[in-house]
A and B are shown apart, each in its own frame.
Chain A
Amino acid sequence: GAVVSQHPSRVICKSGTSVKIECRSLDFQATTMFWYRQFPKQSLMLMATSNEGSKATYEQGVEKDKFLINHASLTLSTLTVTSAHPEDSSFYICSAVGGVGNIQYFGAGTRLSVL
C-alpha cells in the first residue's frame, strides 16, 4: 500500500513559537494532500486541502494566516502552526491522495502540545 510519512510525531513547544509539520508521500506522487486536526475523543476535522503548486483551500473557520500550508512538490506538504498557543494543542494528521483508486492514505499524525 501507499506510504505517507509525517514528522515529527510529537512536539512540545512554548506558547508563541512556530511549529512546522512535514507530510511526505514516499512511494507515490500526490497532487493533493489534506490536513486534519483531532481533539481527544472527537472526530476528524478537515482543516485544509493542499494542492501542489497552488494555494491551499481552507475550511470555514480555519485561520489561513495561523496555519500556513506549503505544497511545493508532488511528495511534500508542510503545515506551519504560527505563534502557537495552548488551544492549538491537538493531534494533527495529514493524508495524501494517490495509489490505485486515488485513495486517501494517512500519515501517523503529530501530537502538538503547547505549554
Chain B
Amino acid sequence: QKEVEQNSGPLSVPEGAIASLNCTYSDRGSQSFFWYRQYSGKSPELIMSIYSNGDKEDGRFTAQLNKASQYVSLLIRDSQPSDSATYLCAEVDNAGNNRKLIWGLGTSLGVNP
C-alpha cells in the first residue's frame, strides 16, 4: 500500500517566520510530487510541483525533494496570516497512467500576527 505521510499539526509560526512542512512517501519509484494549499471550506490549489532532487523556488515558497530519503518538504518564507491553511502533499501513483494522486492527510498551518 503506497502511502504519503504528513504531520497533521497544527503547526503554528509567528508572522514573518519560516514555516517548514514535511512529507514522506513509501514508493521508492515515485517521480512526481506536488504541494497543494487548501483553505477551510475551499478546494485545493496547486502551490508547487517538483520532480527532481534538490530545491525548487517560487516566490516565498521552496520545495525540496530528496528521493534517497523519500521525503519532500515545503518552506514558506516570511509567513503571512494569509498562509494559514492546510497544506497537502501528494505524489503521482505510478501504477496507472491517469495521473491519479496519492494524498497525505495534510498539515494545518497557523500564522500568528
Contact = CB atoms under 8 A, between A and B. Distances in A.
Interface of A: 1, 6, 32, 34, 43-44, 46, 49, 51, 91, 93, 97, 101-109
Contact of A106 (B43, B49, B99, B100): B43
A34 B100 contact: yes
Given A32-B98, A51-B98, A44 B34 contact: no
Contacts of A106: 36, 43-45
A6 B105 CA distance: 24
7 smallest beta-carbon distances between A and B, as pairs: A109-B43, A106-B43, A97-B99, A32-B98, A43-B105, A93-B43, A106-B44
B49 A103 contact: yes
A72 B110 CA distance: 42
B46 A108 contact: no
A111 to B, nearest CB: 8
29 contacts: A32-B99, A34-B100, A34-B101, A43-B88, A43-B103, A43-B105, A44-B88, A44-B103, A49-B98, A49-B100, A51-B98, A93-B43, A93-B44, A97-B98, A97-B99, A101-B32, A102-B99, A103-B46, A103-B49, A104-B34, A104-B101, A105-B46, A106-B43, A106-B44, A106-B45, A107-B43, A108-B43, A109-B42, A109-B43
